[in-house]
Amino acid sequence: MSFPPLALLAALAAAVGACGTADAPEPTPPPPAEVPDLPPDTVDVRDVARAEATIEPIGPGHAEGTITFGRVVGGVRVRAVLTGLSESDFHALQILRGRDCTADPAVHLGVDAGTPHGGPYSFPDLRHAGDLGNIRADGGRGRYDRIDPVLSFDGTMSLVGRAVVVRAGRDDAASPDGAAGAVIGCGVIEGS
């Protein structure tokens, strides 16, 4: 007796399917990988390439405008357009450690790293990450545009979710908080 080739294949498949597979246990999925505890100020921004803070007046000030942050080769590009500044004067720009606009302005991003206060042109280990230097007012308006090699979107030093402040005076890049006076404008940096 001869079988056509298709019938032979069907018979083989049926025989193999009936060979005790019903008793085989289901494979157990591997346990989920453990995720280490992250420090409380770590922000997950893997997909964030741009962030922005809307500056609003605070305290005795009238500063308002927008500060944007973007990932670029060489660091983070910081651009600010502000109004309500003192005529022909310099005003400190600083990123604080937390989100609170009324917090002590001496607590800049990176202050706990043991580095001294500095300016944007200081060597990276001679300044806090939040030390952005000064914006100059011309007719009450100011513009700032530079690439900062110390700022980061990633890890525990991420700028996202922090407050950025404009202060009444010039940052001297030396005193523990820059000796720049009262906070006159503030906004929280939000990723977009």
Domains of the chain, each with CATH number or no CATH? 50-191 (2.60.40.200)
String of DSSP letters for the chain:
----HHHHHHHHHHHHHTSSGGGSPPPPPPPPPPPPPPPTT----TT--EEEEEEEE-TT---EEEEEEEEETTEEEEEEEEESPPTT-EEEEEEBSSS-TTS-TT-BTTGGGTPPP--TTS-GGGS-TTEEEEEEEETTEEEEEEEESS-BSSGGGB-TT-EEEEESS---SSSTT-S--SEEEEEE-EE-
pLDDT at 131: 87
The whole-number average pLDDT for the span 164-189 is 88
The whole-number average pLDDT for the span 107-115 is 64
pLDDT tens, residue by residue, 125-164:
777 788 899 999 988 999 999 999 989 888 878 899 999 9
- What pTM was computed for the model? 0.72
Is 110's pLDDT higher than 70?
Answer: no
